[in-house]
């Protein structure tokens, strides 16, 4: 994902956790669309504007499967999607700051 950001690629970065966990796991420029709430794919489509736009989903860490489930749901719906494995923990471990 650092490469996508460095190359200024046009993509939507989605944190799939519930809102109460978003503040602790927020990667800069990400938005929160919780998988647990109804209408997840519709909300992503409304925000992305198109299923062709790259949507990168992530959650807290390798121990979290929220983004994996979200990626499958979006893929099944025909989205251009990638799962940022390792999530916020991997981002922070790479030396990048989380947003506050």
CA distance 7 to 97: 18
Is 41's pLDDT higher than 90? yes
If you compute the radius of gyration of the chain from its CA atoms, what whole number of angstroms results? 12
pLDDT of residue 2: 62
* pTM recorded for the entire structure: 0.92
**Residue 4 pLDDT level (bands cut at 50, 70, 90):** low
Distance separating alpha carbons of residues 28 and 42, to the nearest angstrom: 23
Does the pLDDT of residue 98 top 80, yes or no? yes
Instruction: Note the pLDDT tens digit of each residue in 72-88.
Output: 999 999 999 999 989 99
How far apart, in whole angstroms, are the C-alpha atoms of residue 72 and residue 41?
11
Residue for token digits 């121990």? 63
């Amino acid at each position: 994902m650092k490469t996508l950001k460095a190359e200024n690629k046009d993509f939507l970065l989605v944190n799939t956790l519930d809102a109460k966990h978003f503040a602790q796991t927020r990667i800069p420029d990400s938005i929160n669309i919780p998988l647990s709430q109804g209408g997840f794919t519709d909300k992503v489509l409304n925000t992305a504007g198109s299923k062709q736009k790259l949507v990168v989903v992530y959650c807290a860490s390798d121990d979290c499967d929220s983004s994996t489930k979200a990626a499958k749901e979006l893929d099944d719906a025909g989205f251009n999607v990638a799962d940022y494995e390792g999530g916020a923990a991997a981002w922070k471990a790479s030396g990048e700051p989380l947003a506050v």
